[in-house]
Amino acid sequence: MRKVQIPPERRKFSLFTLHSSLLILIITLCACDPERIYESNIAISSQGWHRSEIARFTVEITDTINPCNIFINVRNNNNFQYMDLWLFVDVHSPLGFVERDTVRIILADHRGRWIGHGLGSKFNNRIFLRRNVLFPTAGTYIFEYEQAMRDELLIGIEDIGLRIERVEVK
């Protein structure tokens, strides 16, 4: 039996193709999130989050039978000077009703250590806004976040987001 020599150029190409295929497979598997109905994050200016700036998320809801969990996503950095973040959250229903909540999100423990997951100086948190929600009407819902801190310009919040997911049936 005769051995076949593969030229070095073809070996690199084959190795590159293999690594590319594995990378695409990993990305595809990680992107698969069957519980997620909606998720979006809005980047906050590096200059800060001004009190008058509203983060707005428009969500099309079609399922009024199965319960959902609603989360607020927050990414902060070490420049955030507080333990918690206060938000005014308005939810506009398709029928024109507006519900307002004042929400406290704890980002650090009593010793000042950040609670979220992160590397370096950036930390991510996913906080329950509401559990087991049944949307009463199908249609377009608008979620609005307004920072409710005492600072006119809030430094250290990098992203703010909304996630709606199906409640896992066990």
For the segment 21-54, what is each residue's pLDDT rounded down to a tens digit? 544 544 444 556 788 999 999 999 999 999 999 9
Look at residue 4 and tell me if it is in a domain. Answer: no
Domains: count for the chain: 1
Q: What is the pLDDT of residue 154?
A: 97
b/e code 146-162 from CB counts within 10 Å (16+ = b): bbebeeeebebbbebbb
Look at residue 13 and tell me if it is in a domain. Answer: no
Look at residue 2 and tell me if it is in a domain. Answer: no
Q: What is the pLDDT of residue 170?
A: 67
Helix or strand or coil: residue 13? helix
Could you give the percent of the chain with pLDDT greater than 70? 81
The mean pLDDT value for 82-108 works out to 97
Range of the domain at 125: 36-166
pLDDT surpasses 70 at 10:
no
Give the C-alpha separation, 64 to 78, whole Å. 40
Look at residue 122 and tell me if it is in a domain. Answer: yes
Look at residue 19 and tell me if it is in a domain. Answer: no
Q: What is the pLDDT of residue 1?
A: 47
